[in-house]
Amino acid sequence: MSFQKMDRNFQSKKGKSFHADNGHDDRPFAVSIAMAMLAEWGESSSARKEVGRITAANERTVRNWFEGRNGPSGENLVALVRHSDAVFGTVLELSGRQALLPVAGILGLRDQLDALVHAIDELRVH
């Protein structure tokens, strides 16, 4: 039995890494994103399902992201950044834009304050 040319190509054991001179370590992209996802959502199967809903990716793909085997595509990465401060911070670090991290934190605090004010307003109504 011979393999056809259209058979699945298996990924290489080497991960892609960024080689910028910005002082960060040279962990592969997929591992860095996996660590951020684990920090944001944890290791549970419900976390993987939530990420699957956010990105519309299948379960195996999301599992590979969480395990650092593969990294998300650009479109999926944008969806993850939209929902996760940890992933957003990791992308800023990988791109050498650490100076923007405080700004991102302030914006996250604003969202939390808005939610808190809304909760207080709801208590007043009842």
pLDDT tens for 13-58 read 555 555 544 444 567 899 999 999 999 999 998 999 999 999 999 9
The encoded tokens of residue 102 equal 């405080």
The encoded tokens of residue 34 equal 């996996």
Count of positions (residues) in the chain: 126
Residue with tokens 């595509």: 73
Q: Is residue 76 part of a domain?
A: yes
Please tell me the distance from the alpha carbon of residue 62 to that of residue 16, in angstroms, as a whole number.
Answer: 18
Please tell me the distance from the alpha carbon of residue 33 to that of residue 37, in angstroms, as a whole number.
Answer: 6
The predicted pLDDT at position 11 comes to 56
40 and 90, same domain (yes or no) = yes
Count of domains in the chain? 2
CA 55, 59, 63, 65 dihedral sign is negative
The predicted pLDDT at position 109 comes to 83
Lowest-pLDDT choice from 1-10, 55-64, 80-89: 1-10
pLDDT tens for 74-117 read 999 999 999 998 999 999 999 888 888 777 777 778 888 988 99
Domain that holds residue 57: 29-95
121 and 63, same domain (yes or no) = no
66 and 111, same domain (yes or no) = no
Q: Is residue 55 part of a domain?
A: yes
89 and 109, same domain (yes or no) = no
80 and 113, same domain (yes or no) = no
The predicted pLDDT at position 20 comes to 47
104 and 86, same domain (yes or no) = no
